[in-house]
């Protein structure tokens, strides 16, 4: 039975940071295996099936609620930076799919550091193009969390550069956007964020960018992007997050250019708090709110 205690996810984060601190030279594959365990924080949703698919040469995972509207699809880019996979995020994507009455297609994009920026953007846009080739009339939202929120926004910016039809909606959760790491909430003397700190984001931004990209590239760092014409967007973030200022600045930039934005800050909540869907009342409330918003936004006429 869901409650209002999000300690399960916070405890997963604390345990992960303790293991990382105990072995600073931990092998990447071991770290990735540990990050995969974050999926335990999400309850298994009911009435959903899963199916792997080759989406234009990119591995992806369908999350298919039995009562979905077959005309609506969420293209989901998972968080974790250099770590997680579609498998670790399938349950959360399925909760969101159920809430929005859509299917979710989780992109298993190439990961840094083996494949730094823009590999993730390329894979996300490839999957988007493949999806519209399969169903040209689909109502599509692009969705992502943490570093996957960066990929979600960056992929829409790249689609705009390429002259493609843009998705009807974008939803991001606790997005990691600032590759320069200048956010006002990043250095929190109270240490309210149990997982994210400056050292971690500096490491992740270096891994994601690699040696050949600049931290001010507007596709890698949407805080430098012109957001004119960006689709309607929902941003949800925890009030205790070190990355809170990334969301605030993105929302301010988007609204300044006339983008329709819904902005939710959940007081005292941790990074990707909504990942505790099915186990936590606050997470479930956010999933429902975003699901309702996606239903309404994807129902609008689209050029």
Q: Which of the following is catalytic: 88, 100, 146, 155?
A: 146
- Other beta carbons within 10 angstroms of residue 141's beta carbon come to 28
Contact 83, 31 (CB under 8 A): yes
Residue that the structure tokens 């869907």 belong to: 277
Catalytic annotation on 241?
yes
Query: In the chain, which ranges are E strands?
Result: 48-55, 58-65, 72-77, 103-107, 139-145, 169-173, 233-238, 261-266
Catalytic annotation on 224?
no
Q: Which of the following is catalytic: 88, 100, 241, 269?
A: 241
At residue 163, what are phi and psi to the nearest 5 degrees? 75, 20
Q: Which of the following is catalytic: 78, 89, 95, 271?
A: 271
Q: How far is Cα 135 from Cα 145, in angstroms, rounded to an integer?
A: 25
Task: Find the angle CA(142)-CA(146)-CA(150) to the nearest 5 degrees.
Answer: 55
- Other beta carbons within 10 angstroms of residue 287's beta carbon come to 24
Q: How far is Cα 32 from Cα 40, in angstroms, rounded to an integer?
A: 14
Catalytic annotation on 271?
yes
Catalytically annotated residues: 146, 241, 271
């Amino acid at each position: 039975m869901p409650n209002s205690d999000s300690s399960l996810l916070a405890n997963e984060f604390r345990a992960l940071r303790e293991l990382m601190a105990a072995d600073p030279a931990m092998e990447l594959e071991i770290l990735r295996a540990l990050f995969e365990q974050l999926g335990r924080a999400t309850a298994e949703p009911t009435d959903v099936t899963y199916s792997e698919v080759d989406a234009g040469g990119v591995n992806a995972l369908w999350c298919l609620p039995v009562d979905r509207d077959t005309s609506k699809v969420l293209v989901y880019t998972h968080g974790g930076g250099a770590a997680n996979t579609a498998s670790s995020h399938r349950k959360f994507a399925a909760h969101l799919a159920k809430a929005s009455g859509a299917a979710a297609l989780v992109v298993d994009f190439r990961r840094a550091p083996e494949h730094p920026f823009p590999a993730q953007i390329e894979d996300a846009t490839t999957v988007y193009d493949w999806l519209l080739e399969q169903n040209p009339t689909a109502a599509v939202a692009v969705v992502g969390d943490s570093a996957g929120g960066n990929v979600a926004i960056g992929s829409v910016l790249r689609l705009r550069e390429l002259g493609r039809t843009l998705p009807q909606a974008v939803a991001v959760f606790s997005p990691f956007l600032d590759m320069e790491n200048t956010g006002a909430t990043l250095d929190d003397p109270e240490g309210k964020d149990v997982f994210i700190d400056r050292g971690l984001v500096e490491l992740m931004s270096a891994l994601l960018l690699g040696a050949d990209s600049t931290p001010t590239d507007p596709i890698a760092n949407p805080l430098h992007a012109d957001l004119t014409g960006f689709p309607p967007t929902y941003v949800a973030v925890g009030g205790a997050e070190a990355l809170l200022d990334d969301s605030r600045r993105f929302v301010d930039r988007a609204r300044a250019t006339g983008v329709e934005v819904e902005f939710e800050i959940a007081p005292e909540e941790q990074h990707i708090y909504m990942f505790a869907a099915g186990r936590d009342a606050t997470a479930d409330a956010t999933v429902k709110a975003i699901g309702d918003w996606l239903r309404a936004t994807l129902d609008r006429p689209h050029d």
